[in-house]
Structure 1
């Protein structure tokens, strides 16, 4: 399970100097919290609509300029809440066609390109607007409900813009206390899945608390959160230092398992997989950007953890592990796997309407992965279970008229290999090049298996036109 630093996305760091009015993905508007992130507003469109009355207003709502701005607003919101780029592009082109215009949309990691015209025979006008890619499944669900109304022409463009603003101002469904508690449970669950002992599980949960406190406090230090960009590095340093200090009293503690489990929600395994998938789908620029960003975050985490462990080793006589860690019996997975699945629901802000389905599909994905892995090896299990996941998710999306991402993303994160990549790079830095290289290569192989599984699953049952 990887969280890709969802709570500490560098969105705030890039936009910290802007005036903001609505709730951010970090949630909360109370005292001492960061000012929220807002969606870009189209003042030109709204002012234009406000000045027109009667029948003229209806005409203004469907001209090329206002429709283009309308699509841009929806597109920016969709990327901010986690809809895949291909889904957003396909949906926006459908909207343009529905209003009688021609539109082609292409996105990268940070820009959305819009080519629009009155008809396909005319020369299109091309515009580039900024986008922010993040994740919030609850707001994505609300946006999907609005998108369905737009497709069925139940709402006007002006009414839709008002609804977009309401969605942007919606508070997080699961607040910071729930998220912090989730980190503790997630740390303990992942320690079990990585083969940790009872002490490893307990210290991993405590380390998750340390990581959460670091993530909450660091952005508030300095002018305008100047240290926010170093969150991954500092969190890994502090968490690894804590685990190594505890080892002074618990000689058999596995510091690497404790550190990896405690910072699991910051590891970028999902981002790496998405980057590889977009490259394979011929979205080279966007895919390389996501892949590079994922590796940079992973490197920050590894260097921070290595320095944290090395610092404690330098100032204290930390005992070395004389015995290999004895993992708990496999039967304990029956407890810790469901806990990990529930944690993903809270981390990704999946709404109560979709949470039961997401949990069910997570269970099916893990079960199929485990079963198929027994046929030959783990790589086959990852591939076939991803195919099963995509087919079920696409079928659910068409049946329920909901975005497949709401159930697809949590289950995919359960599959990906950010923890393996973290341990691989860590071993390379420590001088264990052969072991570290093998683990890092395994991360990439699993990412490729997921990508091939996604392509195969979408071939068996193509996705719908929803966000």
Structure 2
């Protein structure tokens, strides 16, 4: 293959460009690139090769289209894909390869082998560190939601059990993974209810919620709402439906687990324990930020930036909440995260998603949705409906923050 340098990037034959774009699209989708970002990036990649591309991505398929000129026949392929997983380290490595392609320092043929090798690279964080990610996320989140010290201690224990169920489900196959949101909530609900027999002041909802926090679908629900607003209807409906189904599975599992436990033990009513003093936030909040980075497999190289940007976003949330209310806080937090992440992406040339996804996950509304469904299940329909509606308000507030942030600092096309 002959490689020449054009003003926009390396010019390659349409056959090589087509094959390479298919490979990049499938890999980026698998590692967690969102539909909108993937479509924009593939269009930019095709343009860099000297061709016109049209792409449509949903969580279950990608439609590829490529042509040499506006009048030439378009090549089209629809590729079925499994729902994406988040592996931000591999997404970052893919971004590094594509950066070299754009700079003209790496040929498409050589890049093929590099992309194939990415799949074989082990995660940057092993099983123990990943387990700590679950524990840190739960322990960091519980006090923010109003849990006490005893609640937080049991959250740490149950987070380890949740991680074990996730590992076991992955080994058992697709069916086990499909029901994993229910099984993790069921086991956690059963154990937490059993513990409440001996610790009457245990806050059941907060303990269960914090223990399964990593797999709450708040990001999926917010992403779905955002994609609907931006006219990515198929992808938006899929993500929204998947997020709501996951929430229903989780609350169903928690109810079944609690019901099984109450058949064995008798619960006594007691006032919830006093929340952890906010002065301890300097200890538990960094655990939340590090935990999210570990859970999403952010590389060692990017972890400090991920933690920093998420921390700044949270400070903006606190500032906005103190000025007016939580909705203004979420808006300012999202704007801050998007602006800083885009500056970081421009400076480093790495995919913005690496540092933006953990920050957005910290801000989104899955916890509110879970508590809303829990309130409905317990018979408090008014509070449940209000919390459920608030979940979508938070999602739309985060979406508005993303739009404003992108308007202030326009992002480079990246995964």
Aligned length: 408
Partner of 2:73: 123
1:219, 1:226 within 8 Å by CA — same for their partners in 2? no
Matched residues in 2 for 1:64 and 1:70: separation?
A: 10
Partners of 2:70 and 2:25 in 1: CA distance: 21
Distance in 1, Cα, partners of 2:390 & 2:153: 28
The counterpart of 1:207, out of the listed 158, 162, 167, is 158
**Structure 1 residues not aligned, in runs of 5+:** 1-53
Show the counterpart of 1:413. Answer: 361
Matched, 1:189 2:140: yes
Q: Does 1:167 align with 2:131?
A: no
Q: Which residue of 2 aligns with 1:155?
A: 106
**1:336-385, CA deviations, whole angstroms, 9 ceiling, x for partnerless residues?**
11110011111111112211111111111111100111001000110122
Give the 5 Å matches for 1:445-460.
Answer: 445-460=393-408
C-alpha deviations, 1:88-129, integer Å up to 9, x for none? Answer: 222222222222222211111211111222211223232111
Give the distance between the partners of 1:391 and 1:228, measured in 2 at CA. Answer: 35
User: CA, structure 1 residues 219+368, in 2 after alignment: closer, same or farther (shift >3 Å)?
Assistant: closer
2:36 paired with 1:86: yes
Match of 2:244 in 1: 295
User: Which of 88, 110, 115 pairs up with 2:60?
Assistant: 110
Match of 2:12 among 49, 52, 62: 62
1:329 aligns with 2:277: yes
Q: What CA deviation, in whole Å up to 9, does each residue of 1:257-302 have, x standing for no partner?
A: 1111111111100111111111111111101101100111111000
Separation of aligned partners in 1, 2:42 and 2:2: 26
Asked if residue 433 in structure 1 is aligned to residue 363 in structure 2, the reply is no
| Range 288-297 or range 402-411, more displaced | 402-411
Match of 1:16 in 2: none
SS in structure 1 of the partner of residue 153 of structure 2: helix
Do the aligned partners of 1:187 and 1:204 also contact (CA within 8 Å) in 2?
yes
1:55–1:399 Cα change, 3 Å: closer
Structure 1 vs Structure 2 CA RMSD: 1.8
CA contact (8 A) 2:222 2:364 kept: yes
Is the CA contact 2:135–2:291 (under 8 Å) kept in the aligned structure 1?
A: no
Supply the distance in 2 between the matched residues of 1:385 and 1:185 (Cα, whole angstroms). 21
Q: Distance in 2 between matches of 1:254 and 1:166?
A: 47
For 1:344 and 1:202, the matched residues in 2 are separated by 19
Q: Which runs of 5+ in 2 are unaligned?
A: 4-10
What's the offset of the Cα at 1:83? Answer: 2.0
**Any idea what SS the aligned residue of 1:276 has?**
helix
Secondary structure of 1:333's aligned partner: helix
